[in-house]
Amino acid sequence: EVQLVESGGVVVQPGGSLRLSCAASGFTFDDYTMHWVRQAPGKGLEWVSLISWDGGSTYYADSVKGRFTISRDNSKNSLYLQMNSLRTEDTALYYCASLGPYNYWGQGTLVTVSS
Amino acid sequence: AIQMTQSPSSLSASVGDRVTITCRASQGIRNDLGWYQQKPGKAPKLLIYAASSLQSGVPSRFSGSGSGTDFTLTISSLQPEDFATYYCLQDYNYPFTFGPGTKVDIK
């Protein structure tokens, strides 16, 4: 059974930092490009970032570029999102996912940025 | 970044109705578009990829069409389990972008 389990979401103050993790199992993790997608409370989906299967290519939404860094450790079947200079508008449920026909999503981890 | 719009933003329909949702891209995206369904408290679920390919396990009442800038998701006969919010996602270029969503609720 495919599983993606996110962790690391907490309440953090504006300007703070946080690292999200996503543990993958049940599929060949290093075959897949992986993504982070977020959803602010009561709002729509926002694509955040992508990393290629080998970590060689990364892309970001304009809203997080320069503040967030995506990475992966294929030896640990894990995906990460380092979030710096957090803003109140970064408050959201953060999903890790593989998109496209082989489409898997976690259940999300909640990040709240508030003073 | 490519902007995605959806219409309508919400609709009310009855079981058995035919429902059509439209997604428009601000520039041509070939057929690099997916459709997702999301129910409250749940992760999104892929319905259609490459604009018209039905994801494995998705009922055949769902279909997608379009290319370039204009795309359509059709539910041929709405079922009770189809009441949800639907999003399009362009994966033509980076950054990927979702449409704002279409909420389908019960009339």
- Render pLDDT for A48-69 as a digit per residue (tens, 0 to 9): 999 999 999 999 999 999 999 9
Q: Which residues, given as ranges, of chain A have pLDDT below 70?
A: none
Interface residue of B5, B46, B53 to substitute, partner A, most A CBs within 10 Å: B46
Q: Which residues of A touch B46 (CB under 8 A)?
A: 99, 101, 103
pLDDT beyond 90 at B107: no
Convert A5-42 to b/e letters by CB count within 10 Å (16 or more is b).
ebeebeebeeeeebebbbbbeebebeebbbbbbbbeee
Give every CB contact of residue A44 below 8 A, 6+ residues apart in sequence: B85, B87, B98, B99, B100, B101
pLDDT beyond 90 at B5: yes
Phi-psi region of A64 (alpha: psi -120 to 50; beta: other; left: phi over 0): alpha
Query: Mean pLDDT across the stretch B3-10?
Result: 98
pLDDT of residue A76: 98
pLDDT of residue A100: 81
Find residues 66-85 of chain A whose CB sits inside 8 Å of chain B. none
Residue pair B101/B86 in contact by the 8 Å Cβ criterion: yes
pLDDT of residue B82: 97
pLDDT beyond 90 at B76: yes
Query: Mean pLDDT across the stretch B60-64?
Result: 98
pLDDT of residue A75: 98
Find residues 29-68 of chain B whose CB sits inside 8 Å of chain A. 34, 36, 38, 43-46, 49, 53, 55-56
pLDDT band of B105, cuts 50, 70, 90: very high
Interface residue of A47, A58, A110 to substitute, partner B, most B CBs within 10 Å: A47
pLDDT of residue B106: 87
Tell me the residue type at B60. Answer: S
How does the average pLDDT of chain B come out, rounded?
Answer: 97
Query: Mean pLDDT across the stretch B7-11?
Result: 98
